[in-house]
Structure formats: C-alpha cells, structure tokens
C-alpha cells in the first residue's frame, strides 16, 4: 500500500500565541486516534520552532550550517505525518479532515507527497 508524507506548513510569525488551543488539541487527538485505528497513520509529530533548528547546506562542494530562526522563510514545516493509504485521494481526504480540526483563525497548508519505493 502506498505511503504518503504530509508536511504541515505554517507561518511562525502569524501562528496563534500559545500554540494550539485545548479544544483543537482534543479534536486533533480524536482524529489521530481514528486514523490510527483505521490502520492509516504510521507516524506523526509537530516540530519545534525553527529558532531551535539548524540548516545544513551542500553548495558547490562546500558544507555550511545556519542556525535558526530562518527569518527569510515565510512558511516553515511545523509538523508532519506518514500514512499509508490506498491512493492519493484517500491521503488528501485524511489531510483535509486534519486541517478542518483547526479554528478559522489558523492559516496552514499541507503538502501531501507519495513516498517513493
């Protein structure tokens, strides 16, 4: 069965202060439990802020590192999931349900891509 990586993109500068509300966490937890029981979810997690991250770049034979925050980037990966679904349509449907757990004031984008191999 194909596996899909869903990357949740957020704008750290416009994310709600204090993070997800308790109500959002409850709705999200219920959906993640449903996805797991359905045998679809393989792994998921939120990511720490970019201020705590480091980028490692290979450019023309040279390695360099840049510590966060990455202020030149408007959107960053704030979380991810790896699921197995019968096709892209099913993976996108689960992703839509995940995004709908958020309140209207959130602006997030999810990118769903099939994992090769």
Supply 30's token pair.
């219920």
Q: How many domains does the chain have?
A: 1
For 12-52, the pLDDT digits (tens) are 878 888 888 999 999 999 999 999 999 999 999 999 989 99
Angle among Cα 68, 107, 18 to the nearest 5 degrees reads: 60
- What's the pTM? 0.86
The candidate with the shortest Cα–Cα distance to 5, out of 43, 51, 50, 55, is: 43
Domain span at residue 87?
3-115
Supply 92's token pair.
């996108």
CATH code for the domain of 67: 3.30.70.1060
Residue whose token pair is 């191999």: 117
DSSP-derived 3-state class of residue 13: helix
For 60-98, the pLDDT digits (tens) are 999 999 999 887 777 889 999 999 999 999 999 999 999
> Taking 80 as the threshold, does the pLDDT of residue 101 lie above it?
yes
């Amino acid at each position: 069965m194909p596996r899909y990586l869903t990357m949740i993109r957020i704008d750290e500068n416009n994310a709600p202060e204090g993070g997800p509300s308790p109500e959002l966490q409850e709705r999200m937890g219920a959906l993640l439990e449903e996805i797991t029981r359905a045998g679809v979810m393989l792994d998921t997690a939120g990511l720490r802020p970019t201020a705590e991250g480091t980028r490692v770049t290979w450019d023309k034979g040279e390695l360099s590192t840049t510590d966060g925050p990455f202020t030149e980037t408007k959107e960053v990966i704030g979380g991810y999931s790896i699921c197995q679904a019968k096709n892209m349509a099913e993976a996108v449907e689960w992703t839509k349900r995940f995004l709908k757990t958020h309140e209207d004031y959130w602006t997030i984008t999810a990118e769903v891509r099939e994992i090769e191999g």
